[in-house]
Structure 1
Amino acid sequence: MSLLRARESVMRHFRKSLREFGVTEQQWRVLRALSTMPQMEVAELARATFLLGPSLSRILVDLDQRKLIVRTADPADLRRWMISLSPAGTALIDAVTPVSETIYREIGQRFGADKLANLQSLLAELEQAMVGIGSDTPDAPAD
C-alpha cells in the first residue's frame, strides 16, 4: 500500500498536464516507450509499458486514430505489428517533455535530489530482488 500511495501522490502532479495535452497516463507510457527506440513490436511494447495486451491494443487503436503512431506489418512475419511514433507523436513528446521535466525538478526540490536518487536506486534493487519470485513475468498494473 505504501508503494501505491507514493505512486499516486507523484502521479497526481502529472495528470493535469497530461490531460491538457489530451493523453492518459497509459497513453503517455506508450508514447514515452516509443520515443526510446525507432520502432517496437507490440509484445515488446507491452513489456516496456507494463500494460496487458487487451489494454495496449485499445490504446494503440486510439493513438493510431489520432495519428500519433504508425503501425506497420513486420515484413518477416506479417502477423506481427511494428509500432513507431509518427511525426505528430514526436511533436507531442517534444511538447509534453519540458512540462514533465519541470514536475520532476519540483519533486526533486520538495523531496531532495539525493533522497530521490536513493529512492530510485532502492526501487531498482527491490525490482531485481523480486525477479523469480512467483513468476518471472511482471504483472501489469491495472489501468
Structure 2
Amino acid sequence: MTKSMPSTTRSLPIALIRAREGVMAPIREMLAETGITEQQWRVLRVLDEYGRMDAKTLADRSSLLFPSLTRIAATLRDKGLITQTRDDKDRRRQFIEITPDGQKIIDERAPKAAQIVSDFKDTLGQENYETLLDLLAMLDTSSKG
C-alpha cells in the first residue's frame, strides 16, 4: 500500500461513486417501467422546472455533454416526450420543450420522486442533507467561472 494515498475507504472519488450508486438505485427503480434512462429523466426534469430552452443551456443544466444531449434529445423526440425547433434568426440554435406526454411522465412520478428525497432527508437529517448539497456545490467546477 502506498502510504501517501488515503485508504480506499476514505477516498473522495470512490466515496462519491458509492454514494452516487446509493442515490441512484431508488431513482432507477422508479424509472424502470417508464422506458427512459436517468439522463433522459434529468432532461425532462430540467425542462419541467425551467421550460423551453436552447440546447446548450439544457445540456449545462442537465449536467450532460452537448453531444450526449443531442443523442438523448433525438431519442426523447422520437418517443414524443420533447419537441425541437430551430431558432428563426440563428438556424444552428435549437430550442427544446417538454411535450404533454413528457410532462405526464414527470407528473406521474413526482410523488415517488418526492418520497425518495424524503427518505434521503430521513437518513441524513434535514440539516445534514442541506449541508451535503452545499458541500457538493463547492466541488462543482461547472459553476465556477
Name the TM tier (shorter chain).
Answer: 0.7 to 0.9
Q: Which whole-Å CA distance do the structure 2 matches of 1:96 and 1:45 have between them?
A: 21
How many angstroms does 1:79 deviate by? 1.6
Q: Which residue of 2 aligns with 1:100?
A: 113
Q: Which residue of 2 aligns with 1:5?
A: 18
- Higher mean alpha-carbon deviation, 52-61 vs 21-30, is at 52-61
Q: Of the two, which has the highest radius of gyration?
A: 2
The residue type paired with residue 69 of structure 1 is: I
Q: Which residue of 2 aligns with 1:79?
A: 92
TM-score where L is the length of structure 1: 0.84
Pairwise mapping of residues 1-143 of structure 1 onto structure 2 (< 5 A)?
A: 1-127=14-140, 131=144
TM-score where L is the length of structure 2: 0.83
Higher relative contact order (CA 8 A, sep 6+): 1
Q: Which whole-Å CA distance do the structure 2 matches of 1:127 and 1:51 have between them?
A: 14
Unaligned segments of structure 1, at least 5 residues: 137-143
- Alignment identity in percent? 40
Q: Which residue of 1 aligns with 2:7?
A: none
Question: How many residue pairs align between the two structures?
Answer: 131
The residue type paired with residue 26 of structure 1 is: Q
The two structures, once aligned, show a CA RMSD in angstroms of 1.6
Runs in 1 of length 4+ with deviation above 3 angstroms? none
- Per-residue CA shift, 1:23-64, capped at 9, x if unaligned? 110000110111122211111111111212222111111100
Q: What secondary structure is seen at the aligned counterpart in 2 of 1:23?
A: coil
